Structure 1
Amino acid sequence: MNPSDPTANAAIRSGDDDVLGFALDELDEIDAVFIVLRDSFEVPIAGLVRFLKASSKNVIPNYDYLGHVRSMLAGARKQLSRAIAESGLVREDLDWQSSRAVRDIGARHGVNLLRPCGHCLQQKISVVGSMGRPREYCSNSCRQAAYRRRQADTVGEAALDDPAKAWCRASQELSDVSRTVDDSDSSN
């Protein structure tokens, strides 16, 4: 699929043809839940391990639940990629946040809440995220754009804080330009 084709992108992201939902339906329920919670809502693997232990009837002591969850995720990702490839797509073509199946799984497990990005303001950042500092931006490009905006605002605020310095700087730049013009006139 051509990623720049807006018609194809709109069709993939429309609720009428939920390719991701159909692919998730082909997985075992627990695999679908784990792949959605991890890949879409960024639930940490430790959270998935707690979920698996809580949903198991018998907790086995000294069992490698972390390895088990990782192997479940790897197998589910392979199955999901195969199912999506049958539709002629790749995982990157799909908008996980607009899929009804993804939203339903998120709602069932209480992780469907999304925060707005600090730059583009789209509801893309999961409230349940990895450990550490919570994300503020949905992507590196939004983070960089917000940084550039803050830098531009800081320069503008510095000029507003001290108008005399800003006026001196502007008059200095003007005199530099006039000196350059005078030098070019005298050389002719």
Structure 2
Amino acid sequence: AGLMGTDIKGKTLGLIGIGRIGAHMAKLGWAFGMKVIAYDLRPDKALSEKFGVIFAELDDVLQQADVISLHVPYLPSTHHLINEERLRMVKPTAMLLNTSRGKVVDTKAVSTALREGRLGGAALDTFEGEEVWIEEEFLKRDELAAIPLREAMESFSIMRSEHAILTPHNAFNTREAMDRILITTAENLKAFFSGNPQNTVA
């Protein structure tokens, strides 16, 4: 209650997606003494050997995890990956973290789960309908799209929960990260004009 927290040592960290960011999260969980389980289409044997990451099916990760952290791209196959059905699998004390893409999570389902006490908490750095909040031009349109507005209102309802934290897609925003972005951009331009493109996106 109040400002009382809970230890994470000995708890289970469930990672959904274990690319570069997910792998770093696995290392952090291991460093804090957490059991790390993960779901990914391409399990990383090296992470299992070095940090004890246990790869499992998605539903198994959701059922076992005390902290669920999402690290997947937004694709048709990941739209509402965390939905009403899957939220009914998680522990009522589980914490959901989303720093990937807003539409990976069904906002309405999370709001309902929090309200009904079926989810311990949610920390969302990205969420459905965020374009309504962060893009002034969206609100200047003659016709406002109903779906983003509805999604934004669902996100707003989550923000009012004492068991949720919403941040403005801002997890990357440090001085050091901005320096790295500028350096990488300059290196990409240099490589492109020298005929050797790097960091290309298909």
Same fold by TM-score greater than 0.5:
no
Higher relative contact order (CA 8 A, sep 6+): 1
TM-score by length of 2: 0.24
TM-score (norm 1): 0.25
The structure carrying a bigger strand percent of its residues is 2
